[in-house]
Amino acid sequence: MAQVSIRELTVIKAAVLVAVLGTALAGATHAAEYPDKPIRFVLPNAAGGSPDTIARILAVRLTEILGQQFIIDNRPGAGGIIAVEAVAKATPDGYTLLQCGISQTISPALKRKLPYDTWRDFARIVQYGGVPNVLTVYMGLPVRSLGDLVNHARANPGVLKYGSSGIGFTPHLTMEMFKRAAGIDVLHVPYKAAPQAASDVIGGQIDLLFTNLPSAMPNIRSGRVRGLVVTTLQRAEQMPEIPTISESGYPGFEMTSWYGSCAPAKTPKPVLARVEAAILKALAAPDMRKRFFDQGVELRTTAGAEFDAFYKSEVARWSKVVQEAGIKPE
């Protein structure tokens, strides 16, 4: 084996150092110039609805702060997989971002194989919104509290029907969690879309539905359905008269749909830091909390390692729920 001289070793070390410094300087230069063109903000949701509205509110502020337009790119379908895959495979330069959310932490448990790795292929930036589900019931059902509902379900096992927006979506999984917590037997009726399920609760074709608070508020306030409980640990500011599941006999029961921002995993750290700072600055504006509130969304500012830890805990949590519910991955 050939011996390497001290001089040759010194030259090699110098070359490695130059390469490392060059990479660091390139990243710093990139961050200093970023952004110099519009940024695409990909959503796994259709236009309209709370996730889209929140993204557009945030995009306007980020456009002002960063001086480049944030373009909303709605890519619904396949439980969010279409949008998430597009961002996972995008150039990691900070010009393609994802409004990530709870569905990305559920999908690994529902699919045998995804076209991306929900953890390794993304950098998590800021979690900025949380939305409770609310349990709505048919007005003709003789229940006025969660305790009434549990007693009625236990006295009539397998009779009550609950709707959802599809197998593996949060309305389905939230009820599966509660069924186990309360020891009740209710029949699942999956729908293709949440509005159809909500309409059937009003008409009495089904009895129960966990759905997100923003979409349910008009029907609850008009008396078309009864809102029994919310799924967050604290009561929702928008409807503080509705108790939580946790305070209604099931301490610690909690489920929150959430929104955040993610980027392709290899996006330069200085660029991620600039995006994070811009989002936190946008969220700190005096009117942002009210604008989120008006959409039924709780404003959050979880970033960095804290967001990473939350995301990882959500993946583990939903994997357990799916397994315990007996849902077979496709």
**Contact of 123 with 87, CB cutoff 8 Å:** no
Q: What is the pLDDT of residues 172-216, one digit of tens each?
A: 999 999 999 999 999 999 998 889 999 999 999 999 999 999 999
Phi, psi (rounded to 5 degrees) for 42: -90, 130
- Residue 176 shares a structural domain with residue 163: yes
Rg of the chain over all Cα atoms, to the nearest angstrom: 23
Domain containing 154: what range?
Answer: 133-248
The partner residues of 262 in beta bridges, in order of sequence, read 98, 124
Pairing of strands 70-74, 39-43: parallel
- Residue 60 shares a structural domain with residue 111: yes
CATH of the domain at 187: 3.40.190.10
207: Cα within 13 Å, side-chain hemisphere: 17
**Contact of 262 with 123, CB cutoff 8 Å:** yes
Q: Which residue has the higher pLDDT, 101 or 23?
A: 101
Please give the share of the chain, as a percent, with pLDDT higher than 90. 81
Domain tally, the chain: 2
The residue written with tokens 């059902």 in the block is 141
Q: How many other C-beta atoms can be found within 10 angstroms of the C-beta atom of residue 135?
A: 26
Q: Which of 205, 223, 248 is the last residue before a domain boundary?
A: 248
Q: Please give the pLDDT value at position 50.
A: 84
Residue 16 lies in a domain: no
Residue 11 lies in a domain: no
- Going by pLDDT thresholds of 50, 70 and 90, the confidence category of residue 18 is very low
**Contact of 170 with 257, CB cutoff 8 Å:** yes
- Residue 205 shares a structural domain with residue 310: no
- Residue 87 shares a structural domain with residue 224: no
- Residue 243 shares a structural domain with residue 297: no
